[in-house]
Structure 1
Amino acid sequence: MKNKVLFVVIMTAVLVSGCATPLTSGQKQELQAYKAKGLAVEEKNPGAGAALGILPGGGSFYAREYGLGVVNLLFWPASILWDPMSGYQGSESINYYATQEKVSKLKSKEINQLDDQLMMGTIDNKKYVADKRKIEEKYSTY
């Protein structure tokens, strides 16, 4: 009975902790495209996340998955089998969303400046459309 209660508590902690889901193949391609353009943000080093996964809960704590980190701490040394991957994937996920936020802000700033130029009459519609297309291409991952 005591083992069942412990199991339920641990599973509840895992579900509540919001385990990192790995990036989809599309998200991975998008992140690679941003890296190629020099736009990627690296808040967390995926290699460090994987390496810290050898420590009790280290990979999960590094990837800001505190609930999962506690669970992995309780299951150490068995968690060595999955926590390095959790640290790696969590770090990649953090970097992906940080990159998306940065790109969105940069793109909005440039488009707003372009809009201001159009409103002030310093550029015409033809130049506006051409420059906006360049901005779209600059931040596109296609």
Structure 2
Amino acid sequence: MFALRNLLAAAVIAMTTGCATGLNSSQESELAKHRANNMAIQEKSPGVAAGLGILPGGGSFYGRSYGYGVVNLLLWPISILWDPVSGYNAAESINYQATRAHVASLKRRDMDALDTRMATKEIDLERYTLEKRKVDDKYSSL
């Protein structure tokens, strides 16, 4: 009886500590925009992460949440209730962060090229300002 109560308490704690929280609506919109513009990076597959969540700790390990992976491994098969969702959310979060870094790198590259054109007097200040606005619009997150 005591072991069952401890197991249930551990399960409730694991479920309520938010193993891997999903993206907020702003982040989801930003990622969707980058996907629509073919600028998104997919390091992890959310579908694979959810599927691996059925295995003992699989979704958490795949989503780089190793501590939660161990907890979910110990709480398996009960962890099947939350680990697929946690794995999916972790994969989406990883993809979001990778995409943000990639887009920032692309913007930096374009701005460096624009700065070079300005420094070599290939373009004037007016043209630079117009081109900078285009770059900003291209890489704006929302």
Pairwise same-fold verdict (TM > 0.5): yes
- The C-alpha deviation readout for 1:32-78, integer Å capped at 9, x for no partner, is 01001100000000000000000000000000000000000000000
Shift of 1:113: 1.0
Counterpart of 1:80 in structure 2 is 80
Query: What residue is the counterpart of 1:51 in the other structure?
Result: 51
SS of corresponding position for 2:104: helix
Which structure 2 residues correspond to residues 21-100 of structure 1 after superposition, within 5 A? Answer: 21-100=21-100
> How many Å apart are 1:141 and its aligned residue?
2.9
Equivalent residue, structure 2, for 1:119: 119
Provide structure 2 residue ranges, at least 5 long, that are not aligned to the other structure: none
SS across alignment from 1:64: coil
Task: Point out where structure 1 has 5 or more consecutive residues left out of the alignment.
Answer: none
- Tell me the TM-score normalised to structure 2 length: 0.87
**1:63-115 CA-partner distances (Å, limit 9, x unpaired):** 00000000000000000000000100000000000000000011011101101
Q: Distance in 2 between matches of 1:141 and 1:114?
A: 20
C-alpha RMSD over aligned residues: 2.2
What is the aligned-residue identity percentage?
A: 52
Output the TM-score relative to the length of structure 1. 0.87
